[in-house]
């Protein structure tokens, strides 16, 4: 299935949105930014570091600009 980061990238490329829930979960939402479809558990330092840099799929929340 790949890493959580890979899953987030695929989800976003498919039109969905996501956001970090604290430091241990990521919520995957419908493409309209609405209801949560699934939650992914964050269990590794690499994913936690990624989420500190980019806490959501919203480009405004991404310091690198997207």
pLDDT at 1: 53
pLDDT at 63: 45
Output the pTM of the full model: 0.82
CA–CA distances in Å: residue 21 to residues 18, 51: 10, 10
- Dmax (CA) of the chain: 30
Give the whole-angstrom CA distance, residue 27 versus residue 16.
Answer: 11
| Domain locations in the chain as residue ranges | 4-58
Residue-wise pLDDT tens for the chain (66 aa)? 579 999 999 999 999 999 999 889 999 999 886 899 999 999 999 999 999 999 999 887 544 444
Q: Residue 25: is it exposed, middle or buried by C-beta count within 10 angstroms (0-12/13-18/19+)? A: middle
């Amino acid at each position: 299935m790949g890493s959580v980061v890979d899953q987030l990238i695929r989800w976003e490329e498919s039109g969905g949105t996501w956001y970090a829930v604290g430091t241990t979960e990521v919520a995957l939402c419908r493409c309209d930014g609405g209801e949560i479809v699934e939650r992914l558990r964050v269990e590794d330092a690499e994913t936690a570091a990624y989420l500190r840099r980019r806490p959501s799929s919203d480009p405004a929340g991404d310091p690198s600009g997207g």
